Chains A and B, each alone.
Chain A
Amino acid sequence: MVPEELRYTTEHEWVRVEGNRARVGITKYAADRLTDIVYVELPEVGREVRFMEPFGVIESVKAASDLYAPLSGRVVEVNERLRDQPELVGQDPYGEGWMIVIEPQDLSELDRLLDAERYRKHIGED
C-alpha cells in the first residue's frame, strides 16, 4: 500500500526520484478516499512549481482537491493519458496513474517530506 522507496507529502502526493528528475502522483490511500476520479487538471510542460504549492486539481464525484508539488522545479512531462483516462489514478496510483515529472531545483527539499514509515503513521496504518 505504501511503497518503501517513495517520499510522501502530508497532502498524500508521492515522489520518486529518477536520476535528475522526479515523478509525482497521489497515494493509493488518497485515491481510494476520493472514490471515482473523473478529471485531473494538470499544468502545462514548462510551468514552474513550488514546494507544497498547488500544481493542479483532482476531481472525483465527491470533491475537487488541489494537488501539491512535493518539490520545487520545472514541469518537464505531464501524463497526457489522464486527460481521457482519469480512472488510471485510482487503478494504478504508483504506476500508470502518475501525474507529472519535475526537474527539481533543490533535492534537499526531499528531507522535508515523509518516508514510507512516517507516511504510514500519518494515515494511521502502522
Chain B
Amino acid sequence: MRYIPTTPEERSHMLRTIGVESLEDLFGDIPEGVRLRSPLGLRRALADPELLAYFRQLAEQNAHADRLTCFAGAGAYDHFIPPAVWQLAARGEFLTAYTPYQAEITQGELQAGYEYQTMICELLGMEVANASMYDGASALAEVAVMSRDLTHRDRVVISGAVHPEYRQVLRTYTAPLGIEAIELPHREGYTSVEEAKKWVDGRCAALVIQQPNFFGGIEEAAALAEVAHAAGALFVVATADPLAFGLLAPPGEVGADIVAGEGQPLGNPLNFGGPYLGIIATRMQFVRRMPGRLVGATVDAEGKRGFVLTLQTREQHIRRERATSNICTNEFLNALAATIYLSLLGPDGVRQVAELCLQKAHYLKRRIAELPGYGIAFEGPTFHEFVVRTPLPAATLVRRLAREGFLAGVPLSRFDPRMRHHLLVCVTEARTREEMDRFTEALKRVGRPRQRASALVGRRG
C-alpha cells in the first residue's frame, strides 16, 4: 500500500469538484472554539543524527526490562527469545507482508499459519486452533460470545482469579450484547470449586478460569471442568503464558472446551504491551462457531499439497452482521514468531523452559518467605509467579527498587485497592540465581523500617 501526499493542484481540483472554494470552507462546520489558530508547538526540525540522539535520550528514561532485572509478569512475560526467532521473522517477505485479499496467493504465509495452528493444538491439547487474534484479553472476550452462541445461554461465570484486565475487556465486549458476566470472588488467590458450584447453573453458558491464574496459582482445573459440565456449561480456560503447559496438564486433557490465551510469551518481546498474540483453540465439534481466520490444508488441481483460508463463509466479509465475529484479521507476524520459537525449542525445549521457570520461581519464593517483614500471601501451588506480602506499600517498594536496578513486580493495588501490600512477582527461565540473590538482598534493604520513623512508632507503642 502506498501513501502519496496530494499536490496543491490536486487539492484545488478536489475542492472544486466538491464545490468549495478553499480548505477553510471545507472545515467551516468545525466550531470556532475548538479550532487551533496558532501554529503547532513544534520544535525546529532536527537532522537525522540529532533526531536519533534525541530519541535515544528519551528511551533511556524508560525503566525497561533490558536495563533493569525484570521480576514483573502479570500477563507480559520476559522469557528469553533466541535471536534466530526475529532474524527469521523480520525477513522482508514476512515483515512487510499484508495479507492479500486473495490470501491463497501467499502459500508461504498460509503454511506458516497452518504450522502455528498445529503447534498451538499440541501445546494446549486441543483439536483445532485459529490463525490468531489480537491478544489474550480480546480472545477471551470473543470466546465468551462463542460460548453464548454454542449454548444459547447468555450468562458467563468468570473467576476473580482471571487477569483483571481480561475481565474488564470481557465485560466491555459482552455487556452491549446482553451477555451477563458474573464474577466469582477468588478465595485466597484460587478459584473455589464449592463457590463455583453455587453459581454455575442451567443458565450459565461457560465457566471461565485462568491457568495458571492471575496470582500465579495452579487451579484445580479438572474439578472445575466437572462443575461446568454438570450444569451443561462449557469450560473455558484462559492462559496468559502457554509455556506453563510444558509442565502442567494441557487444558484439553482436563476438560477444557475452549482455550483463550496470550501468545506473547512464545517468542514475542514485551513490546510495551502490544502487539501481542491472541490464541483461541477448541474442539472440532465447535469449529464453526470459532471466530477468526482458519488455515486449512488441501490439494490443488494437480494433487499437490496446498493451503487455504477455510470456513470463510462464517466471516464478516461474507456473512455481514451475522458473522461469528467482527474480527476479520489476525496477528500473523506475532504468530510466525511463535511458530519459529516453538520450532526451535521443540517439545523437550518447552518442557525445559517450563521446568526452569518453576524451579527458579520456587527458589525466589523460598528466599523471600525467609525475609523479615515479607511473606507469601496465598498458600497453594504456583508456577512462575506468586504474590508477596510486603512490609511497605508495594507501589513504594517498586519505585525504590527501580532505583536499585530491578523491576520488582506488579503492585496489586493497581487492580484492587485492598491489596496495597501485595506484590505480584514473576521469575522466568531468563533470571539467574545471582540476580535472584541480589534481588533478595535489595528487598531486605529496602523493606527495612527506616530508623527514625520506627523509633517514633516505638515511642507511641
Q: Which residues of A approach B to under 8 Å, CB–CB? A: 39, 41, 47, 57, 59-64, 66
Instruction: Give, as a whole number of angstroms, the nearest-CB distance from B335 to chain A.
Output: 25
Interchain CB contact under 8 A, B318 and A64: yes
A60 contact from B152, B288, B313, Cβ within 8 A: B313
B314 within 8 A of A: yes
- Smallest CB gap from B323: residue in A: A64
A41 contact from B152, B288, B322, Cβ within 8 A: B288
Interchain CB contact under 8 A, A64 and B152: no
Interchain CB contact under 8 A, B313 and A59: yes
Q: Name the interface size band of chain B.
A: under 10
Interchain CB contact under 8 A, B288 and A63: no
Q: Once bound together, how far apart are the Cα atoms of A41 and B287, in whole Å?
A: 12
Q: Which residues of B approach A to under 8 Å, CB–CB? A: 152, 288, 313-314, 318-319, 322
Q: Once bound together, how far apart are the Cα atoms of A39 and B288, in whole Å?
A: 10
Most buried by A among B313, B314, B319: B313
Interchain CB contact under 8 A, A63 and B322: no
Most buried by B among A41, A59, A62: A59
Give chain A residues whose Cβ lies under 8 Å from the Cβ of B288: 39, 41, 57, 59
Instruction: Give, as a whole number of angstroms, the nearest-CB distance from B438 to chain A.
Output: 59
Interchain CB contact under 8 A, A62 and B152: no
Give chain B residues whose Cβ lies under 8 Å from the Cβ of A57: 288
Q: Once bound together, how far apart are the Cα atoms of A40 and B314, in whole Å?
A: 13
* Smallest CB-CB A-B distances: 4 pairs: A64-B313, A63-B313, A64-B314, A59-B313
- Smallest CB gap from A41: residue in B: B288
Give chain B residues whose Cβ lies under 8 Å from the Cβ of A47: 152
Give chain B residues whose Cβ lies under 8 Å from the Cβ of A63: 313, 318-319
15 of the cross-chain contacts (CB-CB < 8 Å) are: A39-B288, A41-B288, A47-B152, A57-B288, A59-B288, A59-B313, A59-B314, A60-B313, A62-B313, A63-B313, A63-B318, A64-B313, A64-B314, A64-B319, A66-B322
Q: Once bound together, how far apart are the Cα atoms of A4 and B118, in whole Å?
A: 52
Instruction: Give, as a whole number of angstroms, the nearest-CB distance from B152 to chain A.
Output: 7
Instruction: Give, as a whole number of angstroms, the nearest-CB distance from B288 to chain A.
Output: 6
- Smallest CB gap from A54: residue in B: B322
- Smallest CB gap from A39: residue in B: B288
Give chain A residues whose Cβ lies under 8 Å from the Cβ of B318: 63-64
Instruction: Give, as a whole number of angstroms, the nearest-CB distance from B275 to chain A.
Output: 30
Instruction: Give, as a whole number of angstroms, the nearest-CB distance from B448 to chain A.
Output: 64
Q: Once bound together, how far apart are the Cα atoms of A39 and B319, in whole Å?
A: 15
Most buried by B among A41, A47, A57, A62: A57
Q: Once bound together, how far apart are the Cα atoms of A62 and B322, in whole Å?
A: 15
Q: Once bound together, how far apart are the Cα atoms of A41 and B152, in whole Å?
A: 14
Give chain A residues whose Cβ lies under 8 Å from the Cβ of B314: 59, 64
Instruction: Give, as a whole number of angstroms, the nearest-CB distance from B104 to chain A.
Output: 14
Give chain A residues whose Cβ lies under 8 Å from the Cβ of B152: 47
Q: Once bound together, how far apart are the Cα atoms of A47 and B152, in whole Å?
A: 10
Give chain A residues whose Cβ lies under 8 Å from the Cβ of B319: 63-64
Q: Once bound together, how far apart are the Cα atoms of A38 and B190, in whole Å?
A: 44
Give chain B residues whose Cβ lies under 8 Å from the Cβ of A61: 313
Give chain B residues whose Cβ lies under 8 Å from the Cβ of A41: 288
Beyond the given pairs A57-B288, A59-B288, A61-B313, 6 more chain A to chain B contacts, judged by CB atoms under 8 angstroms and listed by A's residue number, are: A39-B288, A41-B288, A59-B314, A60-B313, A64-B318, A66-B322
Q: Once bound together, how far apart are the Cα atoms of A57 and B322, in whole Å?
A: 10
Q: Once bound together, how far apart are the Cα atoms of A47 and B151, in whole Å?
A: 11
Instruction: Give, as a whole number of angstroms, the nearest-CB distance from B299 to chain A.
Output: 16
Q: Once bound together, how far apart are the Cα atoms of A39 and B284, in whole Å?
A: 14
Give chain B residues whose Cβ lies under 8 Å from the Cβ of A66: 322
Q: Once bound together, how far apart are the Cα atoms of A60 and B313, in whole Å?
A: 8
Q: Once bound together, how far apart are the Cα atoms of A68 and B13, in whole Å?
A: 51
Q: Once bound together, how far apart are the Cα atoms of A64 and B313, in whole Å?
A: 5
Give chain B residues whose Cβ lies under 8 Å from the Cβ of A64: 313-314, 318-319
Instruction: Give, as a whole number of angstroms, the nearest-CB distance from A30 to chain B.
Output: 15
Give chain B residues whose Cβ lies under 8 Å from the Cβ of A59: 288, 313-314
Q: Once bound together, how far apart are the Cα atoms of A62 and B313, in whole Å?
A: 7
Q: Once bound together, how far apart are the Cα atoms of A47 and B313, in whole Å?
A: 25
Give chain B residues whose Cβ lies under 8 Å from the Cβ of A39: 288
Q: Once bound together, how far apart are the Cα atoms of A66 and B323, in whole Å?
A: 11
- Smallest CB gap from B324: residue in A: A64
Instruction: Give, as a whole number of angstroms, the nearest-CB distance from A54 to chain B.
Output: 8
Q: Once bound together, how far apart are the Cα atoms of A112 and B314, in whole Å?
A: 30
Instruction: Give, as a whole number of angstroms, the nearest-CB distance from B10 to chain A.
Output: 40
Give chain A residues whose Cβ lies under 8 Å from the Cβ of B322: 66
Q: Once bound together, how far apart are the Cα atoms of A51 and B318, in whole Å?
A: 25
Most buried by B among A47, A59, A61, A64: A64
- Smallest CB gap from A57: residue in B: B288
Q: Once bound together, how far apart are the Cα atoms of A61 and B314, in whole Å?
A: 11
Instruction: Give, as a whole number of angstroms, the nearest-CB distance from A25 to chain B.
Output: 20
Instruction: Give, as a whole number of angstroms, the nearest-CB distance from B415 to chain A.
Output: 40
- Smallest CB gap from B315: residue in A: A64
Q: Once bound together, how far apart are the Cα atoms of A59 and B314, in whole Å?
A: 9
Give chain A residues whose Cβ lies under 8 Å from the Cβ of B313: 59-64
Q: Once bound together, how far apart are the Cα atoms of A37 and B319, in whole Å?
A: 16
Q: Once bound together, how far apart are the Cα atoms of A57 and B289, in whole Å?
A: 11
Give chain B residues whose Cβ lies under 8 Å from the Cβ of A62: 313
- Smallest CB gap from B322: residue in A: A66
Q: Once bound together, how far apart are the Cα atoms of A28 and B366, in whole Å?
A: 72
Q: Once bound together, how far apart are the Cα atoms of A57 and B319, in whole Å?
A: 11
Q: Once bound together, how far apart are the Cα atoms of A42 and B98, in whole Å?
A: 37
